[in-house]
């Protein structure tokens, strides 16, 4: 039974990770659009009249258009991105098939709407009237095609269908006469046929599904602050297993997160609605229901986890504080500035799992409090200081950005007091409180015993990981992020630590984790990965080994793939 559960979790995790490729476009596009809206909104122009210069405003409007190219085309980005993210090989064929499948989907839906006389005629309507008529009929225009409004779900569906078609068709060998079309070349052909059938099915199935989503969306919106708290709690609880992506992005980009009328247009998804609110000069204050799942994250990403780190530092043995502080403060600083929380969260997750439970509840409460206070600040991704300035401070009073530091300082002390009390009261072996002289975190077997789970266990993190300087024959990390030679040497050692080339089946990476699938996990040297090869943490999900390297993970992925001759 456990084996089936592992497969389900692994599949869901893979599905969630496939979102990383399409959403990786959003931070850059969001920053570009954020700067454009920040320096062109009416509040900013009143404060700084010099910005009313025609050339400056032309540039700002140009930046907004650039940002909109991503946010207005999320469905097709997801169609291609999910297909590529799920495909294990011949990713070029998967990308082409994802694009082709998306176009087929909407051309077939348009054809069926015309033939069934359900296509809304907007030729004699004004722009606003046409938008309203299309919205009421659950129709929209995609790439100039009038079709059913599937929103981002359409792209996700295409990506998943193309993945299964690709997985089967890429292995098909056609008769010699038409053998040229075998393998990767057969995938787009098969996609056209199968996607047309899927589109026909969606024509009949989607209307009731859409109504169900709308009902669920209304339920989520009406759940109020309690629903906000539960979302924050569950989202943090899913993080250790890599399943939080599957929760976050449907809420941020589809109707599951809600639907709002902004500037005369119906906008779905919390991030889409937030950016539309920033761009609309008539919006004086961003609706807190838009930012309810987002704004509170600034509080615990920037301040709460810093308080937790300080509590662990203050409760460490005085002789070990210097070593402990180098790890904890670096991790806390990363979380504060960029919103990358995994180093600090994984520091205490399995060493003292009760602290992570407390953290999950406090995270949910932060979302609850910010929702109750009417905070209107959010970001497409990365809830750190940088994005808080761009998406909050620079957008003016409509975001109520000042609530973040006010509530944040309170949460810094809440986290500090609660964590310090728990650590001292229950004598938790956080960094620097171990019985041995060596500063270390508990291993994966101890973690499993504490949590009683087998699906995914996080092992240990070595405080010296942030120094990435080791001694003796294992000195492979000294210049790893400075020279190609250092990176290649580290990649070579990681291959050895995972049992050699013959034991490695696949290599991938998300934002912070290097993910290597192996045939035999008993030969993986976790101890070496965390103590000698610079990993800030280690996770095991079935046969996938996950090493936390921060933004360096993707660099290592590409280097290892090149060395092993693996395709993307």
Catalytically active residues, by annotation: 510
Q: Which letter does DSSP use for residue 430 in this model?
A: -
Detail the DSSP E strand segments found in 180-272: 259-262, 265-268
Spatial distance between the Cα atoms of 243 and 15, rounded to a whole number of angstroms: 9
Q: Which of 567, 510, 519, 561 is nearest to 542 (CA)?
A: 519
Give just the sign of the alpha carbon dihedral 378, 379, 380, 382: negative
DSSP 519-568: S-GGG--HHHHHHTS--S-EEEETTEEEEE-TTHHHHHHHHHHHHHT---
Spatial distance between the Cα atoms of 396 and 443, rounded to a whole number of angstroms: 47
Around 74, how many Cα atoms within 13 Å sit in the side-chain half-sphere?
A: 28
- Please check whether residue 77 is in contact with residue 157, taking contact to mean a CB–CB distance below 8 angstroms: no
Spatial distance between the Cα atoms of 417 and 528, rounded to a whole number of angstroms: 35
Around 317, how many Cα atoms within 13 Å sit in the side-chain half-sphere?
A: 14
- Please check whether residue 206 is in contact with residue 196, taking contact to mean a CB–CB distance below 8 angstroms: no
Spatial distance between the Cα atoms of 255 and 244, rounded to a whole number of angstroms: 18
Per-residue burial over 260-279, b = 16 or more CB atoms within 10 Å of its CB, e = otherwise: bebeeebbbbbbbbbbbbbb
């Amino acid at each position: 039974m456990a084996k089936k559960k592992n497969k389900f979790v692994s599949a869901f995790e893979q599905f969630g990770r496939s979102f990383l490729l399409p959403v990786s476009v959003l931070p850059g596009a969001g920053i570009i659009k954020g700067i454009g809206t920040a320096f062109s909104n009416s509040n900013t122009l009143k404060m700084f009249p010099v910005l009313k210069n025609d050339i400056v405003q032309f540039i700002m409007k140009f930046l907004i258009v650039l940002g909109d190219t991503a946010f207005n085309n999320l469905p097709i980005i997801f169609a291609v991105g999910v297909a590529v993210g799920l495909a294990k090989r011949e990713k070029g064929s998967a990308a082409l098939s994802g694009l082709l499948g998306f176009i087929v989907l909407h051309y077939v839906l348009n054809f069926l709407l015309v033939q069934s006389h359900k296509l809304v005629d907007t030729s004699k309507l004004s722009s606003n009237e046409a938008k309203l008529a299309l919205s009421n009929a659950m129709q929209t225009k995609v790439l100039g095609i009038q079709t059913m409004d599937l929103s981002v779900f359409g792209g996700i569906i295409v990506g998943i269908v193309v993945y299964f078609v690709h997985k089967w068709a890429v292995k098909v060998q056609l008769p010699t006469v038409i053998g040229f079309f075998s393998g990767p070349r057969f995938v787009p052909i098969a996609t056209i046929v199968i996607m047309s059938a899927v589109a026909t099915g969606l024509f009949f199935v989607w209307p009731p599904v859409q109504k169900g989503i709308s009902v669920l969306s209304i339920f989520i919106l009406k759940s109020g602050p309690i629903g906000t708290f539960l979302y924050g709690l569950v989202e943090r609880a899913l993080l250790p297993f890599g399943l939080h992506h599957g929760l976050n992005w449907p809420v941020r980009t589809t109707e599951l997160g809600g639907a709002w009328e902004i500037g005369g247009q119906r906008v779905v998804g919390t991030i889409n609605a937030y950016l539309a609110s920033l761009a609309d000069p008539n919006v004086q204050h961003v609706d807190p229901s838009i930012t309810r799942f987002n704004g509170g994250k600034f509080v615990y990403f920037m301040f709460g986890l810093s308080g937790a780190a300080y509590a662990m530092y203050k409760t460490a043995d005085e002789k070990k504080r210097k070593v402990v502080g180098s790890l904890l403060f670096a991790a806390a600083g990363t979380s504060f500035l960029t919103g990358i929380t995994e180093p600090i969260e994984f520091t205490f997750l399995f060493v003292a799992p009760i602290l992570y439970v407390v953290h999950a509840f406090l995270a949910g409460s932060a979302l609850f409090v910010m929702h109750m206070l009417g905070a209107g600040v959010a970001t497409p991704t990365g809830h750190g200081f940088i994005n808080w300035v761009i998406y909050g401070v620079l957008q003016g009073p409509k975001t109520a950005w000042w609530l973040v530091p006010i509530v944040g300082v309170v949460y810094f002390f809440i986290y500090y007091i609660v964590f310090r009390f728990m650590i001292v009261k229950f004598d938790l072996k956080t960094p620097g409180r171990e019985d041995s002289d060596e500063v270390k975190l508990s291993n994966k077997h101890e973690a499993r015993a504490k949590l009683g789970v087998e699906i995914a266990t996080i092992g240990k993190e070595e405080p010296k990981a942030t120094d990435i300087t080791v001694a003796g024959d294992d000195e492979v990390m000294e210049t790893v992020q400075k020279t190609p030679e250092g990176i290649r040497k580290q990649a070579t050692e990681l291959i050895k630590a995972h049992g050699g080339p013959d034991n490695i089946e696949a290599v991938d990476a998300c934002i912070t984790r290097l993910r290597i699938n192996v045939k035999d996990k008993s030969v993986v040297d976790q101890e070496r990965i965390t103590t000698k090869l610079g990993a800030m943490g280690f996770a095991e999900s079935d046969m996938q080994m996950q090493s936390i390297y921060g933004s360096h993970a993707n660099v290592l992925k590409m280097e290892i793939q090149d060395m092993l001759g693996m395709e993307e």
